[in-house]
Structure 1
Amino acid sequence: MQEPIDSRHLLERASELVDLARKAGADAADAVVVRSRSRSVSVRLGKVEGVESSESDDFSLRVFLGKRVASVSANPGFDLRTLAERAVAMAKASPEDPFACLADEADLAHDALDLGLFDPTEVESAALTDAALAAEAAALAVPGVTNSSGAGASASMGGLVLVTSHGFSGSYMATRFGRGVSAIAGEGVNMQRDYEGDSRLHFADLDDAEEIGRKAGERAVRRLNPRKADTGSGLTVIYDPRVSRGLVGHIASAINGAAIARKTSFLKDKMGQQILARGLNITDNPLIHKGPSSRPFDGEGVRGDAMVMVEDGVLQHWFLATSAARELGLKTNGRGVRGGNSVSPSSTNLALEPGDVSPEDLIKGVASGFYVTEMIGHGANLVTGEYSRGASGFWIENGELTYPVSEVTIASNMKDMFLSMVPASDIDRKYGVAAPTVLIENMTIAGK
């Protein structure tokens, strides 16, 4: 996009803000600047519908006064002393939180680490427009495609500046480039929609715009003339990688330390126990070079290491930031993410590691089942594990994908689902949550 923004001024401003908070009476404090710059273009039917550009530096100050904590936010141009004094005054009136604190000084990252997150490529609005138009034109050129829901392309840059009262001072920036299109096939009540897109940290790694458009168009056409599947139980469901990532996301939410501390996860009592089939591993690594969710330090200044969250099917770790870790009597593993004025645990580059069988062979082994390409709704209850979601895809007959299926519901309990997961050998690690094709047995399908 452009040269990295010089963060020295923001680091100095954040450091001054922390010093003023201490002078105003805070026992400890940290200041964060969340940076963002973005440019995007949207088109539909060959015409530009919108060009947007934005940039912001959002400051937040968090202060600790004994066991009390308060946070305030501001935009650039605010008076540092006033903000610091306001935060301390708020802390004095706040209820006590026995677990709120800065990360331990011994856990802080003190050396710079280049993870290849920044690409200086400058992409002008005209180039974004050309890519969006090319993707849409390629989609419309697919026989059977009758319309477009639009296409877009974007270039953005974001990052974090963090200063704490106990010695941490650091920043990092990451770029993100994207393009995508949504195509419509058929006419009237028989119309079907599908999409394709790509998002990368480095511009040169993006999929070709025409290829993105062609895939979107072909996917939309394949969905024409869908049927409803018969209602049944004990059925095999195979999740396309586009939707199997959602399954891994459910696992991540269920092993989030904040949910464990609140006792709102159906896996809260499963540490050290089998939660996936034997042989399955789930990894999380914030230090992958050019990884989509990589970071040299987390929202508290802690550098997280690569971890095997689930090893040979056995749960090994929770995702932890300092507050959640203290509540559980544990130690942070560097998974803290700033969200507004708080720090919560979250995954980084999370992956259900692939198996040995190809996705084609996985499908060939199914006499009758359902291949899911799209999920609808939010029917995954992370407290009870109950799972019931709308879905569409293709019916499997004698090991082959046959006719398209829509307007069905698939249901089970995630405890049972996770224990019967069979991953294929395919995986695309360009997403922050990555997963291969996944087979799950003994599902219930509600259709006609």
Structure 2
Amino acid sequence: MLLTVHNKWDENERLAIMTSEIDSADLLSRASQLIDLAKAAGADQADAVVVRSRSRSVSVRLGKVEGTEASESDDFSLRVFVGQKVASVSANPGFDMKILAERAVAMAKVSPEDPFACLADEADLARSYPDLELYDPTDISTDALREASLEMEQAALDVQGVTNSSGAGASSGMGGLVLVTSHGFSGSYMASRFGRSVSVIAGEGTKMERDYDFDSRLYAADLDDPKLIGRRAGERTVKRVNPRQVDTGSNITVVFDPRIARGFVGHIAGAINGASVARKTSFLRDKMGQQVLKAGLSITDDPLIVRGSSSRPFDGEGVSGERMVMIEDGVLNHWFLSTSTARELGLVTNGRGVRGGTAVSPASTNLALEPGDISPEDLIKSIGNGFYITELIGQGVNMITGEYSRGATGFWIENGELAYPVSEVTIASNLKDMFMRLTPANDIDRKFGVASPTIAIEGMTLAGR
């Protein structure tokens, strides 16, 4: 059961929040008070979470500013347990904590029992955790964001063959988590995020093509130069002009560009998510301890990478995770687990619980398909003829059966080289087969939360003309 309460901030509170982005002591104190009030109202157990966010962004198109946005919030949520009954409430700053706690407990008392809902076991709670250097205090002004956006767009427009712009943008922000539980956990952390992106068009009339490029980092100084991002976007777009169709065929080797391969690795993560296994919505639900990838391949997940894009010192339940080899030498070793999901499966959490509003569900952290030992150039040469994909269209992936069918654009591989652009084709197979026929290159870039090198998958069906 869930209740949401919204209140306007008074100006003093707004000013205090804006000027105390690093200091979470007040939020920890208020979360602790919520716990005490919930227990006084009759809760057996409780946890309180504050999700803090700040962001600023600028978007431009054709040399003019289209939008400037700024936002800030501190969202409180309280989860209470009365026996095996649970309820959650959420509110913005300014709420009456006593009333909120009493409402939560009253709601829990009339809720149905949930045999799996619980706090993390006390023995699993993090007693100490490392500084993962997730926060960069650099303050990028609106003017600086605008200049970076304009510079990116102009660099893309300067590429010969680019005819129009879909826009460019730059952003900076931070997010943080404060967590207090009734059985002894109290902690907080924050992470910054900076981004740049641009999208442009090449060609004219019905032969226009669009593409983009972007960068996203925890530290502002690590961002790619705006001109470089713009130039890459322009060059990618121009290469797509005048695409051809290709003949329908079977047993085609398909190569996924790294930014497309990251999405494919995300399918693997979804298939080994404990929540999907518990709901019986994963085609790998009966494959624990069995080979699910080609021998020699591994999938790792590590929440403790210093400056990692998806690193966290503890999860949404106060449990510290550790680096895990989810799939090793092709064999499935682990599910992603939160406490309640682990209990449902008769297992123990591995610190992958993530807060989504007032709920906790398992998810990956810094996930990686570990690279192979062949360069992408040599991988393409070894194929001879095939299809190199730079964009996928549609959502034709059935995670229950593994059936896979998606529209695609990219380049035809001929005699080991990218020969010409291709569009209006569909690729199809089953994820079970695709996993067993996957070959990774060695060009992994670990700056993203999901990392993958270029990958080749044999034996796919291609529907063309």
TM range (shorter): over 0.9
Could you tell me which residue of structure 1 aligns to residue 304 of structure 2?
287
How many angstroms apart in 1 are the aligned matches of 2:443 and 2:249? Answer: 29
How many angstroms apart in 2 are the aligned matches of 1:367 and 1:359? Answer: 13
Alignment of 1:340 with 2:357, yes or no, is yes
How many angstroms apart in 2 are the aligned matches of 1:284 and 1:69? Answer: 31
Alignment of 1:217 with 2:234, yes or no, is yes
How many angstroms apart in 2 are the aligned matches of 1:53 and 1:78? Answer: 23
Q: What secondary structure, in the 3-state scheme, does the structure 2 residue paired with 1:21 have?
A: helix
Could you tell me which residue of structure 1 aligns to residue 130 of structure 2?
113
Say whether the 8 Å CA contact 2:129–2:320 is kept in structure 1. Answer: no
Percent of aligned pairs with the same amino acid: 74
How many angstroms apart in 2 are the aligned matches of 1:53 and 1:321? Answer: 33
Q: 2:400 aligns with which of 383, 391, 415?
A: 383
* TM-score normalised over the length of structure 2: 0.96
Question: 5 Å matches for 1:33-44?
Answer: 33-44=50-61
Could you tell me which residue of structure 1 aligns to residue 207 of structure 2?
190
In structure 1, give the amino acid aligned to 2:305. Answer: I
**For 1:197-223, what per-residue CA distance to the aligned partner results, in whole angstroms no more than 9, with x for missing partners?**
000000000000000000000000000
In structure 1, give the amino acid aligned to 2:437. Answer: S
Alignment of 1:406 with 2:433, yes or no, is no
Alignment of 1:171 with 2:188, yes or no, is yes
Q: What secondary structure, in the 3-state scheme, does the structure 1 residue paired with 2:22 have?
A: coil
Question: 5 Å matches for 1:293-312?
Answer: 293-312=310-329
**For 1:293-332, what per-residue CA distance to the aligned partner results, in whole angstroms no more than 9, with x for missing partners?**
0000000000000000000000000000000000000000
Say whether the 8 Å CA contact 1:44–1:150 is kept in structure 2. Answer: yes
Say whether the 8 Å CA contact 1:309–1:316 is kept in structure 2. Answer: yes
What is the Cα deviation at residue 231 of structure 1? 0.7
How many angstroms apart in 1 are the aligned matches of 2:133 and 2:424? Answer: 43
Unaligned runs of 5+ in 1: none
How many angstroms apart in 2 are the aligned matches of 1:204 and 1:141? Answer: 25
Say whether the 8 Å CA contact 2:371–2:452 is kept in structure 1. Answer: yes
How many angstroms apart in 2 are the aligned matches of 1:296 and 1:445? Answer: 44
What is the Cα deviation at residue 3 of structure 1? 7.4
In structure 2, give the amino acid aligned to 1:298. Answer: D
Say whether the 8 Å CA contact 1:320–1:345 is kept in structure 2. Answer: yes
Alignment of 1:367 with 2:363, yes or no, is no
How many angstroms apart in 2 are the aligned matches of 1:115 and 1:380? Answer: 35
In structure 2, give the amino acid aligned to 1:303. Answer: S
Could you tell me which residue of structure 1 aligns to residue 453 of structure 2?
436
Q: What secondary structure, in the 3-state scheme, does the structure 1 residue paired with 2:282 have?
A: coil
What is the Cα deviation at residue 368 of structure 1? 1.4
Could you tell me which residue of structure 2 aligns to residue 273 of structure 1?
290
How many angstroms apart in 1 are the aligned matches of 2:89 and 2:357? Answer: 9
Unaligned runs of 5+ in 2: 1-17
Could you tell me which residue of structure 2 aligns to residue 27 of structure 1?
44
Say whether the 8 Å CA contact 2:129–2:314 is kept in structure 1. Answer: no
In structure 2, give the amino acid aligned to 1:388. Answer: S
**For 1:351-393, what per-residue CA distance to the aligned partner results, in whole angstroms no more than 9, with x for missing partners?**
0000000000000011211000101111111000000011100
Q: 2:107 aligns with which of 90, 98, 109?
A: 90
Could you tell me which residue of structure 2 aligns to residue 420 of structure 1?
437
Say whether the 8 Å CA contact 1:355–1:422 is kept in structure 2. Answer: yes
How many angstroms apart in 2 are the aligned matches of 1:414 and 1:431? Answer: 23
RMSD over aligned Cα, in angstroms? 0.9
How many angstroms apart in 2 are the aligned matches of 1:40 and 1:28? Answer: 40
What is the Cα deviation at residue 2 of structure 1? 8.7
Q: What secondary structure, in the 3-state scheme, does the structure 1 residue paired with 2:306 have?
A: coil
Q: What secondary structure, in the 3-state scheme, does the structure 2 residue paired with 1:250 have?
A: helix
How many angstroms apart in 1 are the aligned matches of 2:39 and 2:29? Answer: 16
What is the Cα deviation at residue 4 of structure 1? 4.3
What is the Cα deviation at residue 110 of structure 1? 1.6
* TM-score normalised over the length of structure 1: 0.99
Q: 2:277 aligns with which of 248, 260, 279?
A: 260
How many angstroms apart in 2 are the aligned matches of 1:160 and 1:217? Answer: 38
**For 1:168-210, what per-residue CA distance to the aligned partner results, in whole angstroms no more than 9, with x for missing partners?**
0000000000001001001110100000000000000000000
Q: Judge which range, 349-358 or 104-113, deviates more.
A: 104-113
Could you tell me which residue of structure 2 aligns to residue 331 of structure 1?
348
Runs of 4+ in 1 over 4 A off after TM superposition: 1-4
**For 1:64-102, what per-residue CA distance to the aligned partner results, in whole angstroms no more than 9, with x for missing partners?**
111111101100000000000000111111111000000
How many angstroms apart in 2 are the aligned matches of 1:74 and 1:211? Answer: 43
What is the Cα deviation at residue 112 of structure 1? 3.9
Say whether the 8 Å CA contact 2:398–2:404 is kept in structure 1. Answer: yes
How many angstroms apart in 1 are the aligned matches of 2:99 and 2:245? Answer: 62
